[in-house]
Amino acid sequence: MATLQKRTLGKSLEVSALGLGCMGLSHAYGPATDRREALALIRAAVERGVTLFDTAEIYGPFTNEDLVGEALAPCRRQVVIATKFGFHVVDGKQQAGLDSRPQHIREVVEASLRRLRTDVIDLLYQHRVDPQVPIEDVAGAVKDLIRQGKVKHFGLSEAGVSTIRRAHAVQPVTALQSEYSLWWREPEKELLPALQELGIGFVPFSPLGRGFLTGAIDENTRFDSGDFRNNLPRFAPQARKGNQALIARLAQIATQKSATPAQIALAWLLAQRPWIVPIPGTTKLHRLEENLGALRIGLTPDELRDIDSALSGIAVEGDRYPKELQAQVNR
């Protein structure tokens, strides 16, 4: 097992500087990856030194946790498993609405522990803030699970600053997971300063813009009918065409550093704060290795300024989410 650079989330959760987002192996991007190939990819990440693996009950639903649990069972004590609760699932199908009632959290955790083949969840996130349940009740429920030894650390996903503060006052929050990348920099306004103040780590999902920042997607790309990018305004063909200007500039910068656009995008994120741990996802071994190569790229302060300057004049076209999903974030 190789050793990668380490970073610390919150006060004490040490993980590899890049994690692996496992969602896309069985959820949201079309047909699930062949199980043997998916198991092999997760285990290849372990061999290369990745120690943070991200899943959720809703991915599948359920099938992704089962996959991650099987893949990591042989090395369970050497890795950190993060999973999430908060959606409403009936008979294996996601229903409308959210559910973070304390009783539901307890039920989800018991089921997740079984699927993950473990006796403890290292990092448990609330997947989306539930406006029907006070965040203090959510944090209190997770605090009880930590006392019982079933959970080690508490996290929030896509939460706003005031919610983070309220939760943190009840049970210290180890990590916030939200989208952050070169084409979604909203967290810089309020979230990053608050996380810095409170000593909370940041785990950016979609650090490669759901694949766009790799340079492999343009206006002619056709997604599988089951790929949720078909429903995202930022991935409408016209937006993809307009956003090629960002990719073109990113590719120029990458060429100067003998790197790929994806590696520059990840290296840029890693350079923003020492407590940021991106979790790019992939289904392909060569992409996993490409992403990990970002850890070998050091960007100087001058280079970071050049990147900001080069990209500052390029407006990203298209909203991140359709309106109904946007209403669930930054609460």
Contact assessment for residue 142 and residue 105, using Cβ atoms and an 8 Å cutoff = yes
CA distance 202 to 9: 7
Q: How far, in Å, are 109, 146, 189, 244 from residue 149 at the CA level?
A: 12, 5, 36, 48
Residues taking part in catalysis: 59
* Cα three-residue angle 215-49-208, rounded to 5 degrees: 20
Residue 134 DSSP SS3: coil
Q: How far, in Å, are 1, 58, 127, 168, 185 from residue 189 at the CA level?
A: 38, 29, 22, 20, 8
> DSSP string of 190-258?
THHHHHHHHT-EEEEESTTGGGGGGT---TT----TTBGGGG-GGGSHHHHHHTHHHHHHHHHHHHHTT
User: Could you give the count of Cα atoms lying within 13 Å of 43 in the half-sphere of its Cβ?
Assistant: 14
Residue 184 DSSP SS3: strand
